[in-house]
Structure 1
Amino acid sequence: MKHIYAVTGMTCNGCKSSVEDKLNAIDGVLNATVALEKAQVTIEMSHHISIDVLQKALSDKYTISEKHTPASSSVDEVQASSDMTAGKKSELKQLFPLFLIFGYITIASVLLNYRPWHGASFMLDFMGLFYIVFSFFKLLDLKGFPESFKMYDPLAKVMPIYSWVYPFIELALGILFLMRIQIPIALVVTLVILGITTIGVIKILLNKKTIQCACLGTALKLPMTKATFIENSIMIVMAIIMLVKTYN
């Protein structure tokens, strides 16, 4: 009996080995093989093993879910539909920290500029706070972040050192925006680095791969979803608007 499961939270070969070792140690598992790039594990088992048992064997860092059931296995369609709905709810729950942080950044930017209202200053403060907050989470695990980041950022894949300095680039950009220093340069850099990352995000979404998003580092387990694309797009649109205003 063979089943394929999706596993989120894996960022490197160390994660791959850990997941394989934990799953292979379960009674009834004949062989568990992880495909890191696809974020999935193929498990051969002597008898049916529930998702709960598989999840308990793994650390809290990883989340395992049903991805595919072979045609030879009898599957209740209603249960499959229920599992899909639960998966969507789980994904929204995972994304809650991202939405919460965006909300706080937006509210803080509004409060800084509501009297009198100044749209340009709002965008600069929003971008500055965005970079400061997001770099903070990346710096919490400077060793783990590069492994996650280079799984989807094209430049980080070919230049590993880029993934190490990226959090510091974000920190520097945040300071420039908040202090109103060299804004045109900061805007151009924003377009370049977020443009590159967005290309990688689009490829992941089109390939329907399930990997961990590194936008908030590895401290929070966030799936790579359309929300990541929207997050980058907002920053890119703001940068373009500010550049147009700067040179008009």
Structure 2
Amino acid sequence: MKHTYIITGMTCNNCKASVEKYLSKIDHVSEVSVNLEKGEAEVKMDKHISTEILQKALPEKYTLSEKEEKNVFRSSSMAAMPMEEEKSKLQQLKPLLLIIFYIASASILLHYKNWSWNAFMLDFMGLFYIVFSFFKMLDLKGFPESFSMYDPLAKRLPIYGKIYPFIETVLGIMFLMRFEITIALIVTLLVLGITTIGVTKTLLDKKAIRCACLGTALKLPMTEATFIENAIMIVMASLMLIF
């Protein structure tokens, strides 16, 4: 079942992320999508949840009221749903895939005349961190809330979510300048390893939440692509430490 609710009290992306976070924690809620402009929240649930329970899960500054209700499990469209869902997911992931493509292309072009796998991987990781941290910097207030929805350390230490974009910036500079590479690789394994644990748990729980890899500027779903994105960096860092 999918229900649409009116949410008052939201003023920024930080509020949006907060509402999604608290509603997603409720039992039997499988997906929460908030539209800040419309002041609405779509909540998917596998059993009916009263408006009172939803309201109690939110901080006092937000007021929730039901707008409409509709059943998304329509037998007449069940056959078409997988294809439509896959297409929608690919469309939403297009910015992420394009950014990774351009980062990889730039890293290859920098070394195509005098090819070196080590140099390619260092520049790929450096550009990866710089570009991804840039998008996080666009909304430093809203990013920590979105990040804490799936990163285990950010959930327990809110300050970690606040400084994470700066950690990525520093790591990017270290890789591009070839400064203390070993330390940068170890930190990469730690921070991305922690995030990957959270991403894996989210995917296994089948929770549909926003990925904060590109901050809150772009609306990206948490999918297997997010796991693969982190895995690529972890594999690169591991290989460089070993060899």
**TM superposition score category, shorter chain reference:** 0.7 to 0.9
Paired residues for 1:133-212 under 5 Å: 133-212=131-210
Q: What letter is aligned with 2:105?
A: I
Q: Tell me if the contact between 1:6 and 1:210 (Cα under 8 Å) persists in the aligned partners.
A: no
Letter in 2 for 1:153: D
CA distance in 1, matches of 2:73, 2:202: 29
Per-residue deviation, 1:36: 2.7
After TM superposition, give the deviation of residue 86 of structure 1 in Å. 1.5
Tell me if the contact between 1:13 and 1:36 (Cα under 8 Å) persists in the aligned partners. Answer: no
Partner of 2:63: none
Return the alpha-carbon distance in structure 1 between the equivalents of residues 72 and 93 of structure 2.
33
Q: Report if aligned partners of 2:14, 2:143 keep a CA contact under 8 Å in 1.
A: no
Q: Is the alpha carbon distance of 1:75 and 1:196 closer, same or farther for their aligned partners in structure 2, counting shifts above 3 Å?
A: closer
Select the structure of larger CA radius of gyration. 1
Q: Distance in 2 between matches of 1:150 and 1:85?
A: 31
User: For residues 152 and 23 of structure 2, what CA distance do their matches in structure 1 show?
Assistant: 20
Amino acid at match of 1:35: L
Q: Is contact 1:128–1:174 with CA below 8 Å preserved after alignment?
A: yes
Are 1:4 and 1:40, in contact at CA under 8 Å, matched by a contact in 2? Answer: no
Aligned Cα root-mean-square deviation (Å): 3.3
Q: Deviations over 1:66-89 (max 9, x none)?
A: 77699xx79642412323421221
Equivalence for 2:125: 127
The aligned residue for residue 214 of structure 1 is 212
> What TM-score do the two structures reach when normalised by structure 1?
0.75
- Residue of structure 1 equivalent to 2:229: 231
Alpha-carbon distance in structure 2 between the residues aligned to 1:157 and 1:74: 32
Instruction: Give 5+ residue unaligned stretches, structure 2.
Output: 49-70
**Corresponding residue SS for 2:208:** coil
Verify the 8 A CA contact 1:152 1:197 in the aligned structure 2. Answer: yes
Counterpart of 1:81 in 2: which secondary structure? Answer: coil
2-structure distance, mates of 1:174, 1:215: 15
Structure 1 counterpart SS, 2:190:
helix
Per the alignment, do residues 35 and 18 of structure 1 end up closer, same or farther by CA in structure 2, a change over 3 Å counting?
Answer: closer
Look up the equivalent residue of 1:207 and give its one-letter code: D
Q: In the TM superposition, what is the alpha-carbon distance from 1:129 to its structure 2 partner?
A: 0.2
Q: What is aligned with 1:110?
A: 108
* TM-superposition CA deviations, 1:75-125 (whole Å, max 9, x none): 642412323421221111000000000000000000001111111000000
Superposed, which structure 2 residues align to 1:3-82 within 5 Å? 3-4=1-2, 14-15=15-16, 35-37=23-25, 38=29, 40=31, 59=37, 64=42, 76-82=74-80
Residue 243 of structure 1: how far off its partner (Å): 0.7
Secondary structure in structure 2 of the residue aligned to 1:35:
helix
Q: Which amino acid aligns with 1:40?
A: E
Give the 3 Å change call, closer, same or farther, for CA 75–91 of structure 1 in structure 2. closer
2-structure distance, mates of 1:138, 1:13: 13
Decide whether the 8 Å contact of 1:148 with 1:218 is kept in 2.
yes
SS in 2 for 1:141: coil
3-state DSSP class of the match of 1:209?
Answer: coil
Summarize the Cα distance change of 1:110–1:154 in structure 2 as closer, same or farther, 3 Å threshold.
Answer: same
Which residue of the partner structure matches residue 90 of structure 2?
A: 92
Question: Scaled by the length of structure 2, what TM-score is found?
Answer: 0.77
Q: 1:121-165: per-residue Cα shift (whole Å, max 9, x none)?
A: 000000000000000000000000000001111111111000000
